[in-house]
Amino acid sequence: MHRERAMTDDPSRTANRTAASNADSDADSHAERHAKAQAGGQAGSDADLAAGPDNPDPSQAGLSNAGLGALAYISGFGNEIETEALPGALPQGRNNPQRCAYGLYAEQLSGSAFTAPRSANKRSWLYRIRPSVRRMSRFSPIDLPYWKTAPHILKDVASFAPARWDPIPLPRTPTTFIEGIRTMTTAGDCHMQTGMAAHLYAATADMTDEYFFNADGEMLIAPELGALRIRTEFGVLDAAPGEIAVLPRGVVFSVEIPGDDKKARGYICENYGAAFTLPERGPIGANGLANPRDFKTPVARFEEKDAPCALTLKWCGGFHRAEIAHSPLDVVAWHGNYAPYKYDLSTFSPMGAALFDHPDPSIFTVLTAPSETPGTANADFVIFPPRWMVAEDTFRPPWYHRNVMSEFMGLIRGRYDAKEEGFVPGGASLHNLMTPHGPDAEAFDKASAVALAPMKLDDTMAFMFETRLPQQMTQFAASGDHRQDDYADCWAGLEKKFDGTPGGKP
Ligand SMILES: [Fe+2]
């Protein structure tokens, strides 16, 4: 038997709604629900899910497994959300009633300690066909040899050296998303729940009846080539190049590559530490950078599939696999604030210099995973999007730089302004703890002489995984064919211009 459902059959009742705009507004959600009931509507009316590109007409929402069509999402970051794929599946007014509707099992998924402060408390309640514990037996270790976990320190690898890589080729044999992950760097220690890993992925096959969860960290996925359809316990989300998807620690998922042309490549930040959140804006104010409304969480959708499947988990760097007899994506309804989400990078509202100087790149932080030291990230996700450059009397590309934070960069589209050549979409670079870096000779000469009219940097989308911890290169990164042996030569043309005169050499 295989059934898949996203929403109620009854178009008069759409069962997906955002209960509150933040974790402290539970009371408002109840008041709102009562107000709707008083007005004669049911809990969750059509008005809660307006039709649109991401929220199609509820009556037309996919109910079959013959293609999902446009997916439905709920807008907002870190919200308390409630969503159900069958009417009445979600208990009201309590989390674990004596008997759940439809014979479902109630299960809490905690992404933070029970006692974490409200602002950092992450948990969701899932109402599912079978409890997850039903699948926890007869695991066997398996090998995914290219996926490494911190600590993974190779003494003979010079991770401090500036490094740059070409894109990795797509596999010639069918390779799933999970099989296609290649670790470039690791930082910190997953056992201490601190640090991160930077991975590339290259995949050519769907995870058919294959499911996965990662106990070691959350996964921020940035496609560069080809879209991904990510089926999760919480619902289904698509992520195309130019978008990111974030899968919280422990969430079960399966990845498909839509279309006949099975080619997918991109980047992953595996964050072992506290969950990504939005950075503070300080004097910027209440709007700008990544706006909360542009984050999208999928609505509940479940698979009722009683067929041979497999579940693989990653736990403290090891991989284990079990044969199971059903799909684990069997959550019919859920509520809470711990769930996967996606974000379109083109909705980032960049801030920049309005008169002079190149600002610190932290101004482009999309998401930050804090450490215990205020303002010092365990991991930051930073982008360099299209934007206007208007600064007067300013060397406009990034300045020369040494940094206690370590910087892994990738390029999703176009070119990056500090490197005119050699850094291409799908490629990567690493500038580690206290490793000097900056524009190459060509970029320096050009930016030093260019007429400073307002100029738009267009057709570009670079990003950075930045961490306070040093990043250790894997063997795959250090000696793979894709490493550019001559990267440091890009600075060789930076000649001495000092000649003792105020103007220097021309
Ligand atoms: Fe830097």
Whether 56 shows a pLDDT value over 50: the answer reads no
Mean pLDDT to the nearest integer, 366-371: 97
Q: Indicate yes or no: pTM above 0.75.
A: yes
Whether 54 shows a pLDDT value over 60: the answer reads no
AA letter at 108: Q
Whether 73 shows a pLDDT value over 60: the answer reads yes
> How far, in Å, are 117, 147, 149, 233, 251 from residue 190 at the CA level?
23, 13, 7, 24, 17
Average pLDDT over the chain, rounded to whole? 88
At 161, phi and psi to the nearest 5? Answer: -70, 140
Report, in this order, helix, strand and coil percent for the chain, each rounded to 5.
Answer: 15, 35, 50
Count of beta carbons in the 10 Å neighbourhood of residue 311: 21
CATH no. of 345-491: 2.60.120.10
Model confidence pLDDT, tens digit, residues 10-23: 333 334 444 433 33
Q: What per-residue confidence (pLDDT) applies to 2?
A: 55
Which residues are placed with Cβ below 5 angstroms of ligand 1, an ion? 401, 407
Q: What separation in Å is there between the alpha carbon of 437 and the centre of ligand 1?
A: 7
Query: Which residue out of 30, 320, 358, 401 is catalytically annotated?
Result: 358
Which H helix or E strand runs over 187?
Answer: strand 181-189
Would you place residue 50 in the very low, low, confident or very high pLDDT band (cuts 50, 70, 90)? very low
Q: What separation in Å is there between the alpha carbon of 170 and the centre of ligand 1?
A: 29
Q: What separation in Å is there between the alpha carbon of 85 and the centre of ligand 1?
A: 46
Q: What separation in Å is there between the alpha carbon of 115 and the centre of ligand 1?
A: 37
Contacts of 98 (CB under 8 A, 6+ apart): none
Q: What separation in Å is there between the alpha carbon of 383 and the centre of ligand 1?
A: 13
Is 358 one of the annotated active-site residues of the chain? yes
Q: Are 482 and 165 in contact (CB under 8 A)?
A: yes
Structural tokens at position 288? 């700008």
Q: What separation in Å is there between the alpha carbon of 430 and the centre of ligand 1?
A: 10
Structural tokens at position 1? 């038997």
